[in-house]
Copies of this chain bind each other. A is one copy, B any other.
């Protein structure tokens, strides 16, 4: 699989991460059939990239026990599925599932890495390298991506030096990953910082794409997304209704809202291929399945502007 075919460089790719990041912290979650329906409806609205779940022992995160069925549902919807892998065994399970993209995670700081996954940064990079080796041996040749968590600030150490992020990105690309995602895991960044980091990492990526995973913890998520678009980013994560909290900031909001992000992209001249009204209607499935979760976002509440026509 070629990364520039999965993520065409001349268009915006919005990745729905609600089925993984959005379900990471919740106490109850949609059943397998409802997850399938979520994928079908959001896929029909035009979303083409889905995080499917995490390849972990089902005992630790039962919400991801059906990740293989979600991978299948995404494939059946004609969309691209991504599976989170945090260790070698997860990578092997992900390869076996046929998921077309394995997503690894590396913390930008040693402190957070050890606290979060009890592993050093170098050990996390080694997991990504292992995933790349598995990829190269697999007939279906999935992609391997890597997210650098806390790229724009760390809840345990504060400011993160861009040089540290650059060094990790360089080692990840050297290990063979197809794509690196810069994550503002705790919503510490402002637009200028996002733009500066993207521009600094860009030369390291060469022809391989960069993505951003932004959180709206302190209200700047969409301002940061606009800055990322300005800096040339074309792959952005978000979740329907902003589903998902923040493991390092209890009570905080998490992912930026897919509907509002898609609206932003269209306003900025980037065609998303998404039917915004159909996308907003997809929220019903979350309201039905997870009635205790608060759904965020302005577009779904207020509707499209009168006479709005998208970028397409």
Chain A residues near B (Cβ < 8 Å) = 153-159, 186-193, 216-220, 222-223, 225-227, 246, 249, 251-253, 257, 259-260, 263-264, 267-269, 297-299, 301-303, 305-308
Bound CA–CA A218/B190 (angstroms): 20
Which B residues are in CB contact (< 8 Å) with A191?
Answer: 226, 264, 267-268
- Name the contact of A219 in the complex, choosing from B246, B260, B303 (C-beta under 8 A): B260
Which B residues are in CB contact (< 8 Å) with A226?
Answer: 191, 223, 226-227
On whether A298 and B267 interact (CB within 8 A), knowing A159-B307, A226-B223, A305-B153, the answer reads no
In the complex the two chains form, is A305's CB within 8 Å of B222's CB? Answer: no
Bound CA–CA A186/B252 (angstroms): 27
Which B residues are in CB contact (< 8 Å) with A299?
Answer: 218-219
Bound CA–CA A311/B305 (angstroms): 35
Which B residues are in CB contact (< 8 Å) with A227?
Answer: 226
Bound CA–CA A154/B306 (angstroms): 8
Bound CA–CA A225/B189 (angstroms): 15
In the complex the two chains form, is B223's CB within 8 Å of A307's CB? Answer: no
In the complex the two chains form, is A268's CB within 8 Å of B192's CB? Answer: yes
Bound CA–CA A263/B189 (angstroms): 10
In the complex the two chains form, is B223's CB within 8 Å of A253's CB? Answer: no
Which B residues are in CB contact (< 8 Å) with A155?
Answer: 305-306
In the complex the two chains form, is A263's CB within 8 Å of B218's CB? Answer: yes
On whether A187 and B302 interact (CB within 8 A), knowing A192-B269, A222-B219, A222-B222, the answer reads yes
Bound CA–CA A271/B259 (angstroms): 32
Return A44 CB to nearest CB of chain B, in Å. 23
In the complex the two chains form, is A260's CB within 8 Å of B218's CB? Answer: yes
Bound CA–CA A192/B172 (angstroms): 34
In the complex the two chains form, is B219's CB within 8 Å of A297's CB? Answer: yes
Beyond A187-B302, A190-B264, A219-B263, list 20 extra A-B contacts (CB 8 Å).
A154-B306, A155-B305, A158-B307, A158-B308, A186-B305, A188-B306, A191-B226, A192-B267, A217-B302, A219-B222, A219-B260, A219-B298, A220-B264, A222-B223, A223-B225, A226-B227, A246-B302, A249-B302, A249-B303, A251-B302
In the complex the two chains form, is B307's CB within 8 Å of A251's CB? Answer: no
Bound CA–CA A267/B39 (angstroms): 36
Return A247 CB to nearest CB of chain B, in Å. 13
Pick the most buried of A217, A222, A223: most chain B CB atoms within 10 A of its CB: A223
Which B residues are in CB contact (< 8 Å) with A157?
Answer: 306-307
Return A186 CB to nearest CB of chain B, in Å. 7
- Name the contact of A223 in the complex, choosing from B193, B223, B269, B301 (C-beta under 8 A): B223
Bound CA–CA A307/B263 (angstroms): 33
Return A310 CB to nearest CB of chain B, in Å. 11
Subset of 18 A-B contacts with CB under 8 Å: A158-B306, A158-B308, A159-B307, A187-B302, A190-B268, A191-B267, A191-B268, A193-B267, A217-B298, A218-B298, A218-B302, A219-B264, A219-B298, A220-B222, A220-B264, A220-B267, A253-B298, A253-B301
